[in-house]
Amino acid sequence: MLSWEMSLDFLVTEITRENTKQSVKKRYDTQNIPQDFLVNSEAICDLNKLILDLENSNKSQVDLDQMYCEFVKVVKSEMSSKLSCKTYITDGFNNKRRRCKKPWWNEELTVLWNCVCSAEKIWIKATCNKSTLRHNYVQKRKHFDKACQRSKRQYWYSMQDELKNLEDNPKEFWRKIGKIGVGNNRQSIPMEVKMEDNSICTDPKIVLDKWKCDFSNMLNSGNLYETTEKDVNSCIITDDILDSEITNEEVVNILKLSKAGKSPGCDEIPMEMYKNQTAINALTQVFNICYNTGMIPELWSRGIITPIPKSSTSDPRDPMSYRGITLAPTSYKLYCGVLNSRLTVKLDDLNFIHDEQNGFRSNRNTIDHLSTITTIIETRKMCKMSTFAAFIDFKKAYDTVNRFLLFCKLESIGISSKMLNALKSLYHKVQSCVKVNGNLTQWFDVQCGLKQGCVLSPILFNIFINNLVNEVKSLNVGIPIEEEKICILLYADDIVLLAENESDLQMLLNVLHMWCHTNDISVNLSKSKIIHFRPPSFPRSIYTFMLEREKKQLYNICLFFISQDIAGQGKHWSGQV
């Protein structure tokens, strides 16, 4: 035996990464919540004490943050003691490809595969009768391959039968679809990124920093506006309905509308945990404190961005090949749900949102506008008339909304100062981070645009874009229908401008351009199209449209129609270009 000793003049330490390789994730069984959850006297006493201490304090931001952190601890402690959970340990920094278990694999295949491996080892190690042993190995391998193919067929046949039986359960249907093929691995993001010089980097710190920088630049691409004292209006507006105390009934109504099984935010508390009377009472008191003081816990200002691939053909090493889905704390979403409900009622009473807007409004959908456009085109085609339409797409519409202009518009329509301060508190400090394979990047500020993952964002955007309809309709052009002229249809940020001739459509485009310039919004020229719907006998238009000082390509469509098979409860689309 050879042995030796070494002496070094420096200390040898274990090489470790700054971030641990393994991340631990707990998944609680929220479908089987016991009846005594948050019912014991200790939990109730702790929650009541937290609320009472906050009400007796100065109600500063520090006090509110401390109270909410303790509130989260009480709920999570109850979850740990009352709910069963599974612990998942993932290695987010490991780039090695792991062999995942095949869904069609069974015990029979395991036995056959072990026999194949054993026969192969015997054949390789043998010194005589190798041809016989090789023949034995080949036969066992053929038998295993046939069993594999048979198991695969049986699996896919069973999957087909399961999908056929889920016709009345779309939620479970799409969940099954997501587990088939590449959909099962779509959340796997390679722990490597492509740098600006097209080099590939695998260093975990640089990878996370690249994700942070790219998403930070994307979410802060709008124009920033610094508020000054002159911008602050000292006029106080009151409203008895908007300014009233938040009630338990309002919180319960929002909880009833909330969907189960959704991922929680950074507080890691699922929505199901709040569906009991103790939590409802505590949340109502917390919401009233936030509403009356115009402050929210700092934890509510943070959102975790989960990347979802935009396309299967895009480069998975490029962060911009992913669409970010922001996860907000569930209590924050409930609070915004209450504000959204009150704001919707107020706008409906004022009849503020124009009928041309169908986006995110009750009892309205895209089919309504599709039917309107189709009827206009078909009717005018039968009457030997052309229809000119401009389909407008805004560039990152929600992410580039000027917040100062938004609050000015809210104030101009008579929203109470209390509600306005509550809305401003949501945007006082907005932070996000990106979650990559269970690892979080550093937090970064988002200083422009509407909040991602916020239920208030759709209605706030409808308010922001509403005056565009006023300016467009003031031209008194469009498609005449009885005593009105239809010149614009909207579904959130998707717009269609309609006109009888080229000059009228150019006027509409000019007004749109001026509105975009005034409101710091940009048109996505590559995705915006102008179409000339015309009878087959009509010549194509040679008019050159101008949009943002650029010529816009004209698509000439001679025939276009949509029919809906009502009896068959399906939709039939057909067309000719």
Q: What is the pLDDT of residue 5?
A: 58
Separation between Cα atoms, residue 169 and residue 60, nearest integer Å: 48
Query: Structure tokens of 10?
Result: 């420096």
Maximum pairwise Cα distance, the chain: 104
Q: Which residues contact 369 (CB under 8 A, 6 or more apart)?
A: 358, 489, 491, 496
* 446 in a structural domain: no
Q: What is the pLDDT of residue 232?
A: 47
Q: What is the pLDDT of residue 22?
A: 54
CA-derived radius of gyration, the chain: 30
Last residue of one domain, picked from the residues 153, 171, 188: 153
Q: For the chain, what is the domain count?
A: 2
Enclosing domain of residue 471: 366-396+459-576
Q: Strand pairing partners for 561?
A: 574
Q: What is the pLDDT of residue 14?
A: 38
* 533 in a structural domain: yes
* 511 in a structural domain: yes
* 208 in a structural domain: no
* 348 in a structural domain: no
171 C-beta neighbours (distance < 10 Å), count: 10
- Residue 86: phi and psi, rounded to 5, are -115, 140
Q: What is the pLDDT of residue 561?
A: 38
Last residue of one domain, picked from the residues 153, 183, 214: 153
* 327 in a structural domain: no
Residue positions counted in the chain: 577
Q: What is the pLDDT of residue 176?
A: 80
Q: Is the pTM of this model over 0.75?
A: yes
Last residue of one domain, picked from the residues 118, 133, 153: 153
- Residue 480: phi and psi, rounded to 5, are -75, 125
Burial of 520 per CB tally in 10 Å (0-12, 13-18, 19+): middle
* 310 in a structural domain: no
Q: Which residues contact 241 (CB under 8 A, 6 or more apart)?
A: 342, 345, 346
Give yes or no for a contact between 410 and 420, defined as CB atoms under 8 angstroms apart: yes
Q: What is the mean pLDDT of each run of 10 residues along the chain (577 residues)?
A: 52 41 69 84 87 84 91 90 76 49 84 93 88 92 94 90 86 78 61 87 91 93 57 74 94 92 89 91 94 94 91 83 92 96 94 93 89 92 93 92 94 93 95 91 94 93 96 94 92 94 94 93 90 90 78 50 36 36
Give yes or no for a contact between 494 and 520, defined as CB atoms under 8 angstroms apart: no
* 224 in a structural domain: no
The whole-angstrom distance between residue 146's C-alpha and the CA centroid of its chain comes to 44
Separation between Cα atoms, residue 366 and residue 117, nearest integer Å: 59
Return the CATH number at 473.
3.30.70
- Percent composition of the chain: helix, strand, coil (DSSP 3-state, to 5): 45, 15, 40
Ramachandran category for residue 118: left, alpha or beta (phi over 0 → left; psi -120 to 50 → alpha): alpha
